[in-house]
């Protein structure tokens, strides 16, 4: 039984890492109703910038602050030169723009920092330790604490302030939002900047785990089932979705895997997401779409 809990807890903690990626998507989805395809590239770009600065013997916090500034500048540039031109266009146009952005950002990262794989050590040990008879990863606990802090901060910022209502308004109808005096451009800037910061945090944690390399931008694909289960518009949903994915894929691997030959960890989340699409297309916490016909 304790083995079951050990697997479950390990899975939940791994799930937090998925949640971190998913949160970045939720923010931009809330503000423009599109899946930001460039989020993965932003994660990569942030991690790569940070690690390259470290390797050029910039101190840890200096590199962190500098990367943070770079992400803010990136958000500003995206709003100024891409999004601003696309006000009041259909969501598919915005989506295509994020697709293009993902290549630009990835190319930029490669052009500036090169394409080799970097190791990243955050100074948090990945040694497992024992707690009540279960082996836990110290690094996973650290990641969970960081994610928890982020969620609390973001909830305060986006649910308790008028920004929350403004975001929903903007996602619903940009023209009307402008007409009631909502500062669309500023809102987009804030959301992309915050998504960039979340991308930085996710990039550091994932980079420390997998090494900073170009495949990092592919974790976008891992965030999809999380978003489908949690709902695209809810920060809390991204956390719950991540936990469900993390726990279920580990449990499935350990307990169902041997029966059907193993290796199911990689596709199990997508099967789960598909089942959710059949039963609850808006996800657990997503806003249900209304359509009068």
Question: Tokens 């039963």, residue?
Answer: 279
Q: What are phi and psi of 130, to 5 degrees?
A: -100, 135
Taking CB under 8 A as the binding criterion, the range among 51-59, 118-126, 198-206, 285-293 that sits at the site for another protein is: 285-293
Rounded distance between C-alpha atoms, residue 119 and residue 141, angstroms:
20
3-state secondary structure of 246: helix
Closer residue to another protein, CB minimum distance, 109 or 167: 167
Rounded distance between C-alpha atoms, residue 226 and residue 197, angstroms:
20
Q: Are 9 and 256 within 8 A, CB to CB?
A: no
Q: Are 150 and 23 within 8 A, CB to CB?
A: yes
Strand ranges inside 182-252, DSSP E: none
**Shortest spacing between CB 193 and another protein, in angstroms:** 14
Identified binder of another protein from the candidate list 36, 41, 163, 217, rule CB under 8 A: 163
By CB under 8 A, the count of residues binding another protein is 28
**Shortest spacing between CB 156 and another protein, in angstroms:** 4
Question: Tokens 């690690």, residue?
Answer: 51
Q: Classify residue 38 by burial, with Cβ atoms within 10 Å: 0-12, 13-18, 19+.
A: buried
Closer residue to another protein, CB minimum distance, 185 or 209: 185
Identified binder of another protein from the candidate list 117, 172, 221, 256, rule CB under 8 A: 172
For position 168 contacting another protein by CB under 8 A, the verdict is yes
Q: What are phi and psi of 127, to 5 degrees?
A: -70, 135
Q: Rounded to an integer, what is the distance from CA 248 to the centroid of its chain?
A: 19
Rounded distance between C-alpha atoms, residue 46 and residue 22, angstroms:
16
Closer residue to another protein, CB minimum distance, 168 or 209: 168
Closer residue to another protein, CB minimum distance, 109 or 195: 195
3-state secondary structure of 135: strand
β-partners of residue 137 are: 128
Sign of the dihedral defined by the CA atoms of residues 238, 239, 242, 248, in that order? negative
Q: Which residues from 173-192 bind another protein, rule CB under 8 A?
A: 173, 175-184
For position 156 contacting another protein by CB under 8 A, the verdict is yes
**Shortest spacing between CB 153 and another protein, in angstroms:** 9
Question: Tokens 């090169």, residue?
Answer: 114
Binding mask 66-105 for another protein (x = CB under 8 A): ----------------------------------------
For position 160 contacting another protein by CB under 8 A, the verdict is yes
Closer residue to another protein, CB minimum distance, 56 or 162: 162
3-state secondary structure of 180: coil
Taking CB under 8 A as the binding criterion, the range among 1-9, 123-131, 222-230, 283-291 that sits at the site for another protein is: 283-291
**Shortest spacing between CB 230 and another protein, in angstroms:** 17
**Shortest spacing between CB 109 and another protein, in angstroms:** 32
Q: Which residues from 126-155 bind another protein, rule CB under 8 A?
A: none
**Shortest spacing between CB 159 and another protein, in angstroms:** 9
For position 193 contacting another protein by CB under 8 A, the verdict is no
> What is the contact surface with another protein in residues (CB under 8 A)?
156-157, 160-163, 165-166, 168-169, 171-173, 175-184, 287, 289-292
């Amino acid at each position: 039984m304790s083995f079951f809990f050990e697997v479950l807890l390990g899975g939940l903690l791994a799930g937090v890492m998925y949640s971190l990626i998913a949160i970045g998507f939720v923010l931009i989805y809330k503000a423009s109703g599109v899946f930001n395809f460039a989020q993965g590239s932003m994660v990569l770009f942030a991690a790569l910038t940070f690690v390259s600065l470290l390797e050029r013997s910039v101190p840890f916090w200096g590199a962190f602050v500098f990367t943070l500034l770079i992400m803010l500048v990136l958000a500003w540039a995206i709003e100024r030169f891409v999004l601003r031109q696309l006000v009041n266009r259909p969501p598919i146009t915005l989506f295509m723009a994020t697709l293009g952005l993902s290549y630009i950002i990835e190319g930029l990262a490669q052009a500036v920092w090169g394409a080799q794989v970097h190791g990243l050590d955050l100074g948090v040990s990945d040694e497992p330790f024992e707690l009540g008879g279960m082996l836990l990863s110290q690094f996973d606990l650290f990641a969970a604490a960081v994610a928890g802090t982020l969620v609390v901060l973001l909830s305060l910022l986006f649910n308790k302030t008028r920004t929350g209502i403004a975001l929903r308004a903007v996602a619903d109808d940009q023209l009307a939002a402008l007409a009631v005096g909502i500062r669309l451009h500023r809102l987009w800037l804030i959301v992309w900047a915050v998504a960039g910061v979340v991308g930085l945090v996710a990039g550091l944690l994932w980079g420390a785990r997998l090494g900073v390399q170009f495949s990092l931008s592919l974790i976008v694909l891992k965030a999809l089932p999380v978003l489908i289960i949690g709902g695209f518009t809810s920060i809390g949903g991204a956390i719950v979705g991540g936990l469900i994915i993390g726990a279920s894929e580990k449990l499935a691997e350990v307990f169902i895997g041997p029966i059907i030959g193993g290796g199911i960890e990689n596709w199990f989340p997508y099967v789960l997401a598909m089942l959710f699409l059949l039963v609850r297309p808006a996800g657990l916490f997503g806003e249900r779409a209304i359509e009068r016909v």
